[in-house]
A and B are shown apart, each in its own frame.
Chain A
């Protein structure tokens, strides 16, 4: 590179500035306690997402706008390592969508989310077989919890429509967590690099505290 070119670049680059470094792996304590946004999200796209609850009723994210913060947790899918190209006819038995490490952690912390005026929506991406049998199985795997208290919402993303919109397709989905404030703006977006790379519950609560603090 000629000296003139180098000087021109150096001058221009000084204007560009520096950025914060990525979260180093060394800080990824189970799960990620100081997770920071690592993904881009289009507010309009995420705000238009719609899911199906165990009863088959639609759950639209838009219904929370102006009312609640939303923690949207997209799981890697029920036993989410089944590549579509290799799927046979799966027979899901003893399937417990509440039993995953992540879901149970969120479930057990639900009162803390309530205190922060947040709704927690846990999404299970599923591929629908031709006869819909798998969908019925998954619905059966989300029985009503034995409580009258409000709890988190477990919903299905049938045919990975939301996963595709969010650009997090993997075998089924990469694990991802999004936090939307009451205005429907995405304030946090974290897409995991491995199936265990997820924000900890405490990290999500911290983000909600920051959002609620900013809103005061």
Chain B
């Protein structure tokens, strides 16, 4: 039970400044706090005058440098059902960013958090002029945070409200840029899931930026965040469609299942085009239940019924983009961009470089010819990309740019077999390769595996008949303490059960955790990705989780995503190895859980 004073002394003042509480309400809470000894924040929560998100906002502004490490909160940009967006200063780089925070308590479960981290990692890899850049994400003291490029402008929703709809060329020029950004994301395996006018930011293009006169530069916001809304408490869904994302723009299939593809974004972009032309969302007047029924039956009114002057080719493209059956929509962004360009409207396409930068050539049909100006522009972007790549290599971040490293989406779930690989006493099934390994007790008198050098362990568990067999797809969990070691590593994805085999590595040092690659137990380490600093002290118990899915590997350390990697080998050795440098490290809670496809209990064959 918290007592008076749990809140900093300016809690009520900040709540008042934010106009969350009236003067009278503040006075009443302060007086009641004095009388009861309960903190104002707790009284406000109990009495329902502030909700948990509002309280979080107030507390964050009361301690602007403590809420998120490395950032100073300087103001509130906006509040939504899923979280708050702050204007913040990134202290290390002395730059202003948009910092979105979401209370962990709003997520349904741990799976939601893991999924967010995996998708946020992917979103952070996106680099495109039409996508708001993601800088950083993480979890701290009960909040998820997501630092993004701070964009000065207005969103397309506000823009269309001012003008009751845009003219066709401008609307399609905006839609085209969104499509270009989505095409880039799709190429990297990312879909947005919540395309809508309020996530389409319109900014003044930089001087010399190749856009037709009067056309704003589009920035797509909230990549990687839509999952949060989907994974939040579904009980918040109301008939007033207040909480669950954007039902007016969502594809019909998105209501029924989560395994949607890029064509759901194309549907939402069609609905966004509808909005841009008309000035409001399709079926805006309908309550949620009727809205769903209409969308599932494809009963979305034609834009020409609302605005007869809109061209038939525009209406036809929107109808196709919003087809109930995804197979009837434009199959990919290449086709969509071509169809937009063929609308015959002047001033849609960029004058030069943006198109080449926007449209991933791999998505386009072979043999398509491009104007020379676009090829020249493409070379400019290639040069810019090369410079960026060189910079990333310099800081060890190449893994996040290298397309072939992408593992695709995690596609399996925990099911099947599970068991501990270390019982605290015996190490019969552990095979020391170098150094010394033995059971020991850590400073907390817990049983641990202590060692220096390298030890290997098969990833196998008894089947239903009690016969120990390899686990092909699995979640491997370990507690790791550096103890006296300068570095502790988990080796996985080995080409062969050999001390010289190529393998991937999770490396923990006092600086943090990092993905890498080694050619052999003691081969040279290639660092693949930046060091992720620990939230906990380096001396703490750190939790390393390595998951092998069909498309590759996913790694978390202390429940923070370290990233995903495509597998080096189609059939890696069914083992992992531990390595400790500079002194003994401690390992414990070593367990394996089998991963299987969500739909069927039958194990995957090898």
Contacts and interface: CB of A to CB of B under 8 A. Distances in A.
A40 interface: yes
Given A12-B30, A13-B30, A108-B445, 13 more contacts: A9-B12, A16-B4, A16-B7, A17-B9, A25-B535, A81-B593, A86-B598, A87-B415, A88-B413, A91-B418, A99-B420, A101-B589, A200-B444
B111 A13 contact: no
B541 A17 contact: no
B12 A12 contact: yes
A101 B415 contact: no
Interface residues of B, number: 76
A160 to B, nearest CB: 13
Interface string B382-425: 00000000000000000000000000000001111111111110
Most chain-B Cβ atoms within 10 A of its Cβ — which of A40, A86, A170, A201? A86
Given A16-B7, A91-B416, A95-B418, A9 B27 contact: yes
A19 B59 CA distance: 13
A92 B5 CA distance: 48
Given A79-B593, A86-B414, A5 B461 contact: no
Interface in B4-19: 4-13, 16-17
B5 to A, nearest CB: 4
Interface stretch (B196-204, B247-255, B269-277, B473-481): B473-481
Contacts of A6: 13
21 contacts: A5-B16, A9-B27, A13-B10, A16-B5, A16-B9, A18-B8, A19-B39, A30-B444, A79-B420, A81-B110, A81-B593, A83-B110, A83-B413, A85-B109, A89-B415, A93-B418, A94-B420, A99-B447, A104-B424, A104-B445, A105-B442
B434 interface: no
B330 interface: no
B445 A201 contact: yes
A64 interface: no
A40 B1 contact: yes
Interface stretch (A50-58, A119-127, A191-199): A191-199
Interface in B23-73: 23, 26-27, 30-31, 33-34, 39-40
Contacts of B539: 29-30
B537 interface: yes
Given A13-B30, A82-B593, A30 B418 contact: no
A118 to B, nearest CB: 16
B445 A14 contact: no
A111 to B, nearest CB: 11
A129 interface: no
A185 interface: no
A169 to B, nearest CB: 9
Interface of A: 1, 5-6, 8-10, 12-19, 22, 25-26, 28-31, 40, 79, 81-83, 85-96, 98-102, 104-105, 108-109, 170-171, 193-197, 200-202
A196 B536 contact: yes
Contacts of A171: 109-111
B542 interface: yes
B424 A98 contact: yes
Contacts of B7: 16, 19
B109 A170 contact: yes
A6 B26 CA distance: 11
Given A18-B8, A83-B414, A196 B420 contact: no
Contacts of A13: 9-13, 30
A26 to B, nearest CB: 6
B420 A108 contact: no
A79 B593 CA distance: 8
A91 B34 contact: no
A99 B598 contact: no
Interface in B527-543: 535-537, 539-543
B139 to A, nearest CB: 9
A22 B34 CA distance: 22
B604 to A, nearest CB: 12
B494 to A, nearest CB: 22
A193 B461 contact: no
Nearest to A15: B34
B462 interface: yes
Contacts of A83: 109-111, 413-414
Nearest to B535: A25
Nearest to B587: A101
B532 to A, nearest CB: 14
B506 to A, nearest CB: 16
B591 interface: yes
Most buried by A among B3, B34, B420, B442: B420
B602 to A, nearest CB: 10
Most chain B CB within a 10 A radius of its CB, from A19, A89, A93, A94:
A94
B479 A101 contact: yes
A83 B412 CA distance: 13
Q: Max chain B CB contacts within 10 Å: which of A88, A96, A195, A200?
A: A88
Given A30-B443, A95-B419, A98-B424, A16 B543 contact: no
A94 B594 CA distance: 13
A193 B559 CA distance: 10
Residue of B111, B442, B464, B536 with most chain A CB atoms under a 10 A cut-off: B536
B415 A202 contact: no
Given A12-B31, A16-B9, A99 B423 contact: yes
